[in-house]
Structure 1
Amino acid sequence: MSALMAGGERGDDEMTGRSRAGREWATYWRSAEMPLEAMYASFLRHRYHRHSHETYSFGVTEHGAQTFTCRGAGHTSAAGMVMAFNPDEVHDGHAAHEQGFTYRIVHIGEKLITDVIPDVTQRPAGLPLFAAPVLDSPALAARLRRLHTALSHGAGPLERDELLCAAVAALSRLAARTPARPRAIPRTPAVAHLAAKARELIHDRYADPISADDLAVWTGSSRYKVYRAFHTTYGLAPSEYQRQLRLRAARHLLALGHPAARVAGEAGFTDQAHLTRWFTRSYGVTPTQYRLAKAD
């Protein structure tokens, strides 16, 4: 495992996969073979910008507390609590008080979830697997902590897979006891269609400059209507959604070993500093730190 954090200090901390900047640090692990990643971090001043992940993400707060907004409401995860985010679920986050917070988080790809819980794909369209973003379950927290520790300390493939299956199964049982609630539904099919049409152009041209006028012409609607429909449907402004696509493209390229300077241009960022700023604000580590986090 290789993992670092802003601050750039070297020496013993780097040898242990942890660098420190004041009281803030982070370690990162990612699998080279499957959509599975893990981070262990302690933040005091860092504030996550609104972002989402392609994966299911499960965090365990170990010390302090962090507060975040998700699904249009505020939530707090204190020590011992579990955070559960569905794919594409927009959230932010920061310390709830001056002592900061320490937490572990595991990102698990949808395919790994459905391999363990086949009936996930049978759930009604639009329903998330997890109804609540904060879960108070000591047993689940313990399973996630064991999984995270095994991943970050180089457990063998068999042990890793067994712990992954056990954690996902426990998550599934907990989710089953809490009926999933539908996400906010646009008021009319026309709103959903307009947002989907705009989303189509953003996906096709995520690395290129796109203006509000471009979206209006493409959808045959006004700039205001496009913005309102898009934000209502996806929870992000079109520009924020485009940046999420760029960040995800950057993650994939970095995981392939491409240097951050090259990735910035290919993913649509102005330069490496622009990529670094948004990558760190969204994920808590820099692009280079993420690229160097290897496993297996």
Structure 2
Amino acid sequence: MSAGQFLMQRSAIPGVQAVAACSSHAFARHTHEQFGIGVMRRGAQVSHSGRGQVKAGPGHVITVNPGEVHDGAPIGSALRAWQMLYLDLSVVADAAADIRQGRPQQYEFEHPAQDRPALARDVLALYAQATAGTSPLACDALLLRVLAQASVAQGIHPPPAPRPGVPASVRHALALIDDDPAAPLSLADLAAASDLSRYQVLRAISRVTGLTPHAYQMQRRLLLARRLIRQGAALADVAAMSGFADQSHMTRLFVRAYGVSPRRYAMAAGGA
């Protein structure tokens, strides 16, 4: 793979995206709606995650949980390369229920980066089999083994957008954004929904999500844009429906967060 390239590959497993990358791009803080697990193939990076700041080097297993705010930047001037699998919540839910015989506990990845050679081999084998179109039986067996090894808690309860334990007032403010990310909301709107002052709601949302209200809204708009692009909507329409000022505004934020333009993402998603 050439430098600066992001490649979304066809996956034989429904609900699983396969992405390979080789880049020096420094990602802005962003979130995913899926679970992500992969392996650093070469180079190294430092990243902030909901589980602390970590460094990952060659062979390390890297993970992200749904809704977890994270970023990533190369260590030094060298490129780093990785392969990631992004799993829909339903995929993990079904696998976790099988692993733990239906016990409804929350599933999450505990370590954002760890040196576990056996797990890394299984993740890379799953990536290779999924992208090569290997038999479902082989893919299913590896997927279960990977998730059984990688979890801290077993079973699954998909995390809501606001984390458990968030005060009701803040949940109301976040729900206002979540329900319609494209809406032109003001801090006064969020304050009214939460029965807090503008300063109180600003501090509360920043504390709960790790993002300012505006940054949180931009993240929700980016996630909406990704869904619309995967559904085949035209990019200009996606920008308008997602609440961006225009297509160039969407493109700038998209590249900062994901390292790839909406157009390239659309081309890759169309071939997935």
Per the TM superposition, whether the score is higher than 0.5 is: yes
1:57 pairs with 2:39 = no
Deviations 1:11-39 (A, max 9, x none): xxxxxxx6x5xx31121136598331121
Q: Which amino acid in 2 is paired with 1:270? A: A
Q: Judge conservation of contact 1:30–1:38 (CA < 8 Å) in 2.
A: yes
Match of 2:157 in 1: none
Please give the TM-score of this superposition, normalised by the length of structure 1: 0.79
Contact 1:192 1:233 in 2 (8 A): no
Which one of the candidate residues 123, 132, 148 is aligned to 2:105? 123
Question: Helix, strand or coil for the counterpart of 1:207?
Answer: coil
Instruction: Pick from 105, 113, 116 the counterpart of residue 84 of structure 2.
Output: 105
Structure 1 segment 126-205 matched on structure 2, within 5 A: 129-172=108-151, 175=152, 192-205=167-180
State the match for 2:21 in structure 1.
41
What is the aligned partner in structure 2 of residue 68 from structure 1? 47
Aligned to 1:222: 197
Q: How many residues align?
A: 260
Which amino acid in structure 2 is aligned with residue 36 of structure 1?
A: V
Q: 1:255 to 1:271 in 2, by over 3 A?
A: same
Q: Which residue matches 1:85?
A: 64
Q: Which moved more, 1:66-75 or 1:105-114?
A: 66-75
Report the Cα offset of residue 161 of structure 1. Answer: 3.2
Residues in 2 aligned to 1:231 and 1:30: alpha-carbon distance in whole angstroms: 37
Aligned to 1:278, which of 239, 242, 253?
253
Q: Distance in 1 between matches of 2:51 and 2:198?
A: 23
Kept after mapping to 2: 8 A contact 1:84/1:135 = no
Aligned-partner Cα distance in 2 for 1:150–1:31: 9
User: What is the Cα deviation at residue 49 of structure 1?
Assistant: 0.8
User: 1:254-293: CA deviations, max 9, x gaps?
Assistant: 1111121211111111111111111122122221222222
SS at the partner of 2:223?
A: helix
Distance in 2 between residues matched to 1:163 and 1:146, nearest whole Å: 8
Q: TM-score, normalised by structure 2?
A: 0.86
Deviation per residue, 1:137-170 (Å, 9 max, x gap) = 1111111111222233344544433432332233
Ranges in structure 1 where 5+ consecutive residues have no aligned partner: 1-17, 178-184
Other-structure match for 1:15 = none
Coordinate RMSD, CA, aligned: 2.5
CA 32–207 in structure 1, closer or farther in 2 if over 3 Å, else same: farther
Deviation by residue 1:66-123 (Cα, 9 ceiling, x = unmatched): 1101126321000010112111111000101111211111111121112111148622
